Amino acid sequence: MSTLFISDLHLSAERPEITELFINLLSTQARQARALYILGDLFEAWLGDDLVPAEYQGAIQAIKQLSTNGVPVYIMYGNRDFLMRKAFEKMTGAVLLADEYMIDLYGTPTLLLHGDTLCTDDIKYQQFRQMVRNPQWQDELLAKSPEERLALAKHYREMSQLETAGKQNEIMDVNQDAVLSSMRTANVKQLIHGHTHRPDTHHFDLDGQPAIRIVLGDWYKTGNMLRCDENACQLEDFS
């Protein structure tokens, strides 16, 4: 049996075909998986467990069906959907993961991240992340009315688009020193993450030993998945 990893689906009303692609994955290939890991940004935005858009209901029901059928589903917070809470776990049957999560992947200790914490050259983003991931800031946001939350989300999205348009691509990619530091701290030689939308498998040296960083792709045009079994890990595009 394989273990599946996906990230950066950014499900939204604007791209219903991607939601359908996700639902199809959960009702077919994922049914035979050992586990499914979603490493952040499943949704374009999540503004609270009490404010679930109608366009997300199909995906939520599909996750619930998969978990009910015995396939564990693990979901990591992304930079778009970090306001998921216990009610989300109940409605999906999924387990929410910490920002850094260790697994034994067929005998190989592996660190899972969304990936945004590795982009340390993007100083403005890291400052913004520090603000929005503050529990007090989140509690204050969740206490606001749905209308206020929607307005703020629109404002932050517009700010993000302006910021991104003016940044060099290198700044928005991971910093290799940050990669090495995270892997040393976790004492691993294998890292899997998303966020950068640059699917690839990177081989490099870590303190005299071979190391691997696998980057998951986004779902803007096609689906992208990492399939791992006892023999190897392979990135796959599908539609």
**pLDDT interval class at 165 (50, 70, 90):** low
**pLDDT interval class at 172 (50, 70, 90):** confident
Sheet of strand 233-238, all strands in order from the earlier edge strand to the far edge: 95-97, 73-76, 35-38, 3-6, 223-228, 233-238
Q: Both tokens of residue 73?
A: 């589903």
Residue 142 has pLDDT above 70, yes or no: yes
Residue 165 sits at the vertex; the CA angle it makes with 82 and 41, to the nearest 5 degrees, is: 20
Find all residues with CB under 8 Å of 237, minimum gap 6, and list them. Answer: 217, 222, 223, 224
Nearest to 195 by CA among 118, 102, 99, 138: 118
Q: Cα–Cα distance between 55 and 95 in angstroms, integer?
A: 21
Q: What is the mean pLDDT of residues 186-202?
A: 97
Percent with pLDDT over 90 in the chain: 90
- pLDDT computed for residue 170 by the predictor: 64
Q: What is the per-residue pLDDT across 24-65, written as a single tens digit (0 to 9) for each?
A: 999 999 999 999 999 999 999 999 999 999 999 999 999 999
Q: What is the mean pLDDT of residues 101-105?
A: 98
Q: What is the per-residue pLDDT across 58-84, written as a single tens digit (0 to 9) for each?
A: 999 999 999 999 999 999 999 999 999
Contact yes or no for 93/100 (Cβ under 8 A): no
Q: What is the mean pLDDT of residues 126-131?
A: 95
Q: What Å distances lie between residue 150 and 19, 80, 147, 179, CA to CA?
A: 21, 13, 5, 34
- pLDDT computed for residue 179 by the predictor: 98
Find all residues with CB under 8 Å of 71, minimum gap 6, and list them. Answer: 30, 31, 33, 34, 35, 36
- pLDDT computed for residue 149 by the predictor: 93
Assigned CATH for 3-121+173-238: 3.60.21.10
Q: Where are the domains of the chain?
A: 3-121+173-238
The model's pTM is 0.95
**pLDDT interval class at 156 (50, 70, 90):** confident
Q: What is the mean pLDDT of residues 20-24?
A: 98
- pLDDT computed for residue 182 by the predictor: 98
**pLDDT interval class at 238 (50, 70, 90):** very high
Q: What is the mean pLDDT of residues 163-171?
A: 66
- State the first-to-last Cα distance of the chain, in angstroms, to the nearest integer: 22
Average pLDDT of the chain is: 95
- Among 141-150, 169-178, 181-190, top mean pLDDT goes to 181-190
- pLDDT computed for residue 161 by the predictor: 79
- pLDDT computed for residue 167 by the predictor: 63
Q: Cα–Cα distance between 204 and 206 in angstroms, integer?
A: 7
